[in-house]
Amino acid sequence: MIGEGSAADVARELAARIDLLVLELLPGGHREGHWWRAGDLDGSPGRSLLVNLSGPRRGRWKNFAGDEGGDSLDLVAQSRCGGDLRAALAWGRSWLGRKPSSPISGSSDRRPADLRPPTLEETQRAVATIWNVARPLQRGDAVTRYFAGRAIDLAALAAANYGRLPGVLRCHPNLRNEESGRCWPAVVAAIANPAGELAAVHRIWLAPGSRENPDTGKMVKAPLAAPKRSRGSYTPGGIIRLWRGSSGRPWDAAGGDETLAIAEGIEDALTVAQAWPYWRVGCGVSLSAMLTTAVPAAIGRLVLVADNDPPFAPSTTLLRRVRQRFRDEGREVWLLRPPPAIKDINQLIQLGYGIGTASLGLDNGE
């Protein structure tokens, strides 16, 4: 059972960051003095909902249209979790990036609850919360603008997919980043376990690339030391199932006549899907994770999308191990590399070169 004290601590921490929280929950609102004003709990523009941003009632809110109100945790529950306070508590902990601190009685050598590693259940709840709060892609959102700036036309991919944008990618309008302590829009990608269930999320935090036109300008990775991070446990077996290829069959029903391309990064994987839409394409997130990536049993031909790393770099050694792992499984392994002096496949098309200038060849084991 989750005690009331824990919920109260979360409410206090959320209230302490209410100026960021309202941007997350009520993005269509605006500031008026010490109030944040919005139209409703969906965050639409308007004047019916008021949130106090300062003073002793910081975090308290009132929706005059629906005669609702409460503290900051109630605001999360009503705007994001359908009134479910338990779900709101999980969402709040995820957004804050840690369990709320609380007084610890007893021996002084006990660690505070917020310093202990999260349990598997807590991590799974946080992953589900991030995914559920993120929104399906829409043309013109921060994510599609980011990929457009990387020379990836998601609308063109959607045209080859019955008009559907990749469902494993979502746009989070304001996802908290632990490094910076603030919220940014973000790409959220679902990492599936071998059973096809959501095991983890991969996040890419974004920022406007044009100060002169921040609303419609180019989006780039946020100015962070680590703008890409994953949350959740996705090894062994995890993969971002980006593209089904021309067969259109579910991932686990892939046929022996299909080619599966696996890239380390989402940008490279989408570049390959754009160039070879008849291939099935996945993102392994990291080379070390690709040592255990679950591949449909029927797939006999793999294309590993490689960067141009130095011959004796640790990543090059890892790539050899990944290749050998798939060869040991009896699969035909090909390597796709950009030409010399080009970092990766996505940079190749950003520089205006045709994808045909990349090298695609059967792995000879060297």
In-domain check, residue 129: no
Q: Which pLDDT score is estimated for 23?
A: 84
Q: Tell me, what CATH number does 35's domain have?
A: 3.90.580.10
Residue type, 152: I
| Same structural domain, 45 and 101 | yes
In-domain check, residue 127: no
The pTM score is 0.67
Of the listed ranges 171-175, 231-235, 302-306, 358-362, the one predicted with least confidence:
358-362
Q: Tell me, what CATH number does 300's domain have?
A: 3.40.1360.10
In this structure, what token pair is assigned to residue 327? 């060869």
Instruction: Indicate the number of domains in the chain.
Output: 3
| Same structural domain, 220 and 292 | no
| Same structural domain, 251 and 177 | no
* Cβ-proximal residues to 17 (8 Å cutoff; 6+ apart), any chain: 96
Q: Give the distance from CA 315 to its chain's centroid.
A: 23
Q: Which pLDDT score is estimated for 67?
A: 62
For residue range 148-180, list pLDDT tens digits in order.
Answer: 999 999 988 888 877 788 899 999 988 888 778
pLDDT band (50, 70, 90) for residue 181 = confident
In-domain check, residue 125: no
The residue segments making up the domain with residue 318 are 237-366
* Cβ-proximal residues to 213 (8 Å cutoff; 6+ apart), any chain: none
Q: Hunting for tokens 């709060």 — which residue is that?
A: 133
In-domain check, residue 360: yes
| Same structural domain, 163 and 69 | no
| Same structural domain, 255 and 356 | yes
| Same structural domain, 337 and 256 | yes
In-domain check, residue 128: no
Q: How many CB atoms lie within 10 A of CB 95?
A: 25
* 36 in Cβ contact with 29 (< 8 Å): yes
Higher pLDDT, 132 or 96: 132
The secondary structure of 121-146 as a DSSP string is HHHHHHHHHHHHHSEE--TTSHHHHH
| Same structural domain, 308 and 357 | yes
Q: Which pLDDT score is estimated for 123?
A: 80
